[in-house]
């Protein structure tokens, strides 16, 4: 398999981030798996043939100085650094009339400010490589009003706006910026909710396709967006929610 250059994936140790990292490796990308633990996928097996394509780096996404160093390391490999997936995120719930400002600020820092800073730091490497792709992980919450989720909803609306602004600004540099916005995805983080039969029935009724998806489907969509030559596709928010957010 011919390598295609490197893609950095934040939050690559579990859930959607791990699925994205493995899918990109299957497609021949060299994947920089960035996580606070400095490890790769830990919640699913890593096939032996993909292991050589995964590089592990410890990174707190709010540390832009450390991110600069990691990106420089990835860019030194074959075919340079060609992409970034801003997947790492934070989610905190609570009644808005009691929600602490510092908790709101933390969600915004991880979900919006960090993707901006990391996109800025990866920019010179993508430009040096002749262009590239940045994919931000949003959410269908960006257009919903969800109780007790003001910070999360605001942050995902913010990442959609950031995506559009960067896409327009960097289009002539050959850099595409996209927002992949999943709906309800089965991960270990929500396994407890899915043990509730009433909750499962709600999802079956609320999602037109009949229930949630899995992290691997998100990974496949991200893989397609990196692999296909679609220079005219930029700035868009692509919803992967089974039609839930548009159902009346």
Check residue 246 and report its DSSP letter.
G
Percentage helix, strand, coil for the chain under 3-state DSSP, each rounded to 5: 45, 20, 35
How far is CA 226 from its chain centroid? Answer: 13
Distance CA 176, CA 169 (A): 10
Count CB neighbours of 52 within 10 A.
10
Active site residues: 152
Pairing label, strands 6-10, 213-214:
unpaired
Backbone angles phi, psi at 80, to 5 degrees: 70, -170
């Amino acid at each position: 398999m011919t390598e295609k250059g490197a893609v950095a994936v934040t939050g690559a140790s579990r859930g959607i981030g791990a699925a994205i990292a493995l899918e990109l490796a299957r497609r021949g990308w060299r994947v920089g798996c960035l996580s606070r633990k400095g490890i790769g996928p830990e919640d699913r097996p890593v096939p032996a043939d993909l292991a050589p394509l995964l590089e592990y780096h410890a990174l707190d996404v709010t540390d832009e100085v450390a991110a600069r160093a990691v990106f420089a390391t990835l860019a030194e490999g074959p075919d340079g650094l060609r992409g970034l997936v801003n997947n790492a995120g934070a989610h905190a719930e609570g009644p808005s009339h009691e929600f602490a400002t510092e908790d709101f600020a933390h969600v915004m820092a991880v979900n919006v400010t960090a993707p901006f800073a990391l996109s800025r730091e990866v920019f010179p490497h993508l430009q040096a490589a002749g262009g590239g792709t940045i994919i931000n992980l949003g959410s269908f919450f960006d257009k919903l009003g969800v109780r007790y989720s003001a910070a999360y909803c605001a942050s995902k609306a913010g990442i959609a706006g950031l995506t559009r602004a960067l896409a327009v600004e960097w289009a002539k540099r050959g850099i595409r910026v996209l927002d992949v916005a999943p709906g309800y995805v089965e991960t270990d983080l929500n396994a407890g909710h899915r043990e509730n039969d009433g909750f499962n029935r709600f999802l079956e009724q609320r999602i037109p396709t009949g229930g949630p998806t899995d992290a691997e489907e998100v990974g496949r969509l991200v893989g397609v967006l990196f692999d296909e030559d679609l220079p005219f596709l930029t700035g868009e928010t692509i919803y992967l929610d089974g039609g839930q957010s548009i159902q009346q």
